[in-house]
Amino acid sequence: MPSTFRPPTPGPRAWWAALALAATVLAPVASAAPVSTPNVEAELVPATTAAVPGQPVTVALRLKHREGWHTYWQNPGDSGLPTTIEWKLPPGVKAGPIDWPAPHALPVGPLVNYGFEGEILLPSTLTVASDAKPGSELAIAARADWLVCKETCIPEGVDLTLALPVAASASAHPRWGAPIAATVAALPRPLAGWGVAAQGEGQRVRVALTPPAGAADPGKLHFFPFKEGQVEASAPQALARDGAGYVLTLPVAYQLAPGFARVAGVLSASNGIGGAMAATIDVPLAGSVVAGPKPVDAAAPALAIPPAAVPAAATMSLLFAVIAAFLGGMILNLMPCVLPVLSIKVLGFAEHHDSRATMRREGLAYGAGVLVTFVALAGVMLALRAAGEQLGWGFQLQSPVVVAALAVLFFVLALNLSGVFEFGQFAPSSVLSWASKNRTLDAFGTGVLAVVIASPCTAPFMGAALGFALSQPAIETIAVFVALGAGMALPYVLLAWFPAWRRALPKPGAWMLRFKQLLAFPLYATVAWLAWVLGSQLDVDAVLRLAIVLIAVAFALWAWHVSRMGSTRVWKLVSLAALAGAVVVALPLAAPAPAESATATSPAPGSVAWQGYSPARLAELAAAGPVFVDFTAAWCVTCQVNKRLVLSDRALLDAFADRKVALVRADWTRRDADITRALAALGRSGVPVYVLYRPGREPLLLPEVLTTRIVTDALATLDGPALAQTEAAR
């Protein structure tokens, strides 16, 4: 009898095993659908099959780029924007920042960007509340935005979703668990076992790396800073052996951002370092740094945006900068800022018929005051720039407090010249006796005051010289400032050294008192100008507040004068009370200025209206045609003269319109880091600066003192093939 096969009857354990296997296979896992743009495929992918209550879960943004296209790291390098994720999470779920993998250096023409090509996972850690219920589902959504580039750059973004189950336990996601785990394991961690120190040396930073005993050669090293504006991405980084260690020399960014006090970033190694292919370092920066020169690549193709002019540091020698500074300092004496104060001192020559030795001593004291103040100003600027501040010539006038203080100082000087009071009323007789015998101190103080007043002005030759000075090591910077001071002091010193010129003046008499009183009015005018500057920096209320302060100061000086005329001491108390009131009224001027939007409305077609400055706006306009940029400030007298006499000329504005030149005004009245960096890129450190951006050609820098002929000649350079191509494109 043939036998019949019967399958075995499963026992209880077999049934439970089968049910467990089925539950594992059929259990829901996290699911999401990829979203594609023309250049990138994106989706949210989890590291595990589910979220466990009270435990973190890793979710990554997956980006798959088209061949040859790339997106950017947290610091994009020379250009670009980092990828961002805006999470939209259910209650009880929180997301941390992107854990950035180590980037790659991506050369694009003369630029070097930091970013990613191919397929990349950008993980983030999500925390789930401990009371999340197993069996439920977390509906996770996010908005991802990126800039994707090849020859051109395209901003893209997508809305992504991910359904993440909640379970008592979770396993690695069958598809994404291993890739995400590998990405997380390769994330740069702090460099362990190595000694790291950073030293700033002008336009470079030396990073000394000391390996532990037995460490392998790391091979080629490259540093990627976390923050922009610290290390020049497109400049080479030099690696050298130093005994048992290494020294990596980093070029300082030519658009140096404020706050460069630490060297922090990712250090990648071709052979690995610290047990990984990349590690992070974060050490304090000793020494000091200044902005480096802008990299120049003569073989680079023309960009859509005209490249900045080569800074003065790259084209000017120290000798030429010193000569230019000396000539600029001499011309500075003729500027409206300095002339009133210098006239007051020259008047003293006519009033006092001293010995030749006394006059020469006063002249030298004045020159010493000028030189010492210029050196001190250079030292302050170097110290602040080393601390990361972006400063230029006249930076102190960007502070409303300094502007108000100068207005009060000039007002007091003008009241003195008008005869309202005498400075001698505020000093003991012993001090007055000493001062009358030692007028060299007064001459020294006049030199200091002359430099302070000269700071709003930029004379011819000064712009290029100062631009060079502030991009060089400290010794060369100070040498240029000394030359500037020597040029400014020389005319007065010569007048004191050779007093024969006094024969041309009338004999001392009543005319001297009248002339002294007459000199008060330029100072009153200066006060009015400073009040207008303050209004430009703050608002109309600030001007009113300054006016009240000036009235209180004038009343206090008058009251003190009355008290000195034999009246009761009550007038002294009244004077002190008025000064105290002036201080109280002035205190709000020291509050931080409100933020001012850099945006400006676009003019109508064919209009010659001036537009506000921003790097993005300049790039947009320069890509479409020629652009004329006026770098100006309310406290710059030369700027205002050029603006009124030249740049407001109707015929010139018509010439701009005929050639379709966009007009941009970069107002540096208040501190603006974008404008400071733009000036540095042009090799300048102060205003005025006038530059004509020309399609397909280098920008054209114009002189500090303008005439209509100078500007029209500059516009004539637009005629030719470059302009014809621009018109054809339009």
- Within a domain: 441: yes
Which of the listed ranges 147-151, 627-631, 636-640, 693-697 does the model predict with the highest average pLDDT? Answer: 627-631
Residue scoring higher pLDDT (159 or 452): 159
Q: Within a domain: residue 577?
A: no
Chosen domain end from 167, 187, 207: 187
Question: Which of 96-110, 194-208, 435-449, 518-532 shows the lowest per-residue confidence on average (mean pLDDT)?
Answer: 435-449
In the predicted structure, residue 443 carries a pLDDT above the cut 70: yes
pLDDT tens string 321-336:
888 888 888 887 776 5
267 neighbors 282 (Cβ within 8 angstroms): no
Which structure tokens are listed for 704? 């500090």
- What is the distance between the alpha carbons of residues 370 and 356, in angstroms, rounded to a whole number? 21
> Is this model's pTM higher than 0.75 or not?
no
Q: Note whether residue 275 is domain-resident.
A: yes
| Judgement on whether residues 130 and 110 belong to the same structural domain of the protein | yes
CATH number of the domain enclosing 263: 2.60.40
> What local confidence, expressed as pLDDT, does residue 410 receive?
79
Are 464 and 321 a contacting pair, CB within 8 Å? Answer: yes
**Among 377, 372, 375, CA closest to 402:** 377
Residue 725 lies in a domain: yes
Domain limits for position 149: 27-187
Q: According to the 3-state scheme, what is the secondary structure of 212-249?
A: CCCCCCCCCEEEEECCCCCECCCCCCEEEEECCEEEEE
CA distances from 255 to 97, 249, 378, 579 (A): 27, 18, 20, 44
Bridge-based pairing state of the strands 71-77 and 111-116: antiparallel
- Nearest CA to 711 out of 611, 642, 644, 664 is that of 642
CATH of the domain at 46: 2.60.40.1250
Residue 661 sits in a domain of what CATH number? 3.40.30.10
Looking at the structure, do residues 49 and 68 belong to the same domain, yes or no?
A: yes
**Three-class secondary structure of residue 669 per DSSP:** coil
What is the model's pLDDT at position 256?
83
Question: By mean pLDDT, which of 348-352, 548-552, 594-598 is the weakest?
Answer: 594-598
Q: What pLDDT is stored for residue 309 in this prediction?
A: 38
One domain, residues 171 and 223: no
pLDDT at site 166: 93
| pLDDT band at 339; cut points 50, 70, 90 | low
Largest CA distance in the chain: 155
Regarding whether 108 and 39 lie in a shared domain, the answer is: yes
Number of structural domains found in the chain: 4
- Where does the pLDDT of residue 183 fall: very low under 50, low under 70, confident under 90, or very high at 90 and above? very high
Question: Locate tokens 């589910």: which residue?
Answer: 50
Domain termination residue (choose one: 125, 160, 187): 187
pLDDT of residue 141: 93
Same domain for 175 and 48: yes
Same domain, residue pair 231 and 366: no
Question: Does 98 score more than 80 pLDDT?
Answer: yes
Q: Residue 88: its pLDDT value, please?
A: 93
d(CA 455, CA 636) in angstroms, rounded, equals: 9
Across the range 364-374, mean pLDDT stands at 88
Does residue 536 lie within any of the structural domains?
no
The mean pLDDT value for 646-663 works out to 90
List residues bridging with 588 in a β-sheet.
none
Residues 368 and 481 in one domain: yes
Look at residue 494 and tell me if it is in a domain: yes
pLDDT computed for residue 89 by the predictor: 93
pLDDT of amino acid 171: 93
CB 588 within 8 A of CB 549: no
Domain boundary among 490, 518, 546: 518
- Under 8 Å CB-to-CB from 493, ≥6 apart: which residues? 363, 364, 366, 367
Examine the pLDDT at 70 and tell me if it is beyond 70: yes
3-state secondary structure of 576: helix
Nearest-CA neighbor of 85 among 140, 125, 142? 142
Is 581 within the bounds of a domain?
A: no
Do residues 62 and 127 share a domain?
Answer: yes
The pLDDT confidence band at residue 197, using thresholds 50, 70 and 90, is very high
pLDDT at 208 over 70: yes
Task: Please compute the mean of the pLDDT values over residues 255-278 and round it to a whole number.
Answer: 90
- For the record, the structure tokens of 559 come out as 């009251």
Distance CA 342, CA 339 (A): 5
333: tokens are 């004496």
| 484 and 472 in a common domain | yes
- 79: in domain: yes
Q: Which element (helix H / strand E) includes 158?
A: strand 153-165
Do 57 and 82 belong to one domain? Answer: yes
Instruction: Judge whether 115 and 153 are in contact, CB under 8 Å.
Output: no
How confident is the model over 455-478, as pLDDT tens digits? 656 556 666 666 666 666 778 888
Q: DSSP of 444-476, one letter per residue?
A: HHHHHHHHHHHTT---TTHHHHHHHHTTS-HHH
pLDDT tens-digit map of 273-305: 988 999 999 999 988 888 777 664 433 333 333
Reply yes or no on whether the pLDDT at 437 is more than 60.
Answer: no
Greatest mean pLDDT among 299-303, 361-365, 519-523 lies in 361-365
Of the ranges 182-191, 598-607, 686-695, which is most confident? 182-191
59 lies in the same domain as 180: yes
The arithmetic mean of pLDDT across residues 30-59, rounded, is 89
Q: What is the pLDDT of residues 704-730, one digit of tens each?
A: 878 889 999 899 888 754 444 444 333
The whole-number pLDDT of residue 350 equals: 58
The DSSP symbol for 623 reads H
Query: Given a cut of 90, is residue 627 above it in pLDDT?
Result: yes
Same domain, 92 and 219: no
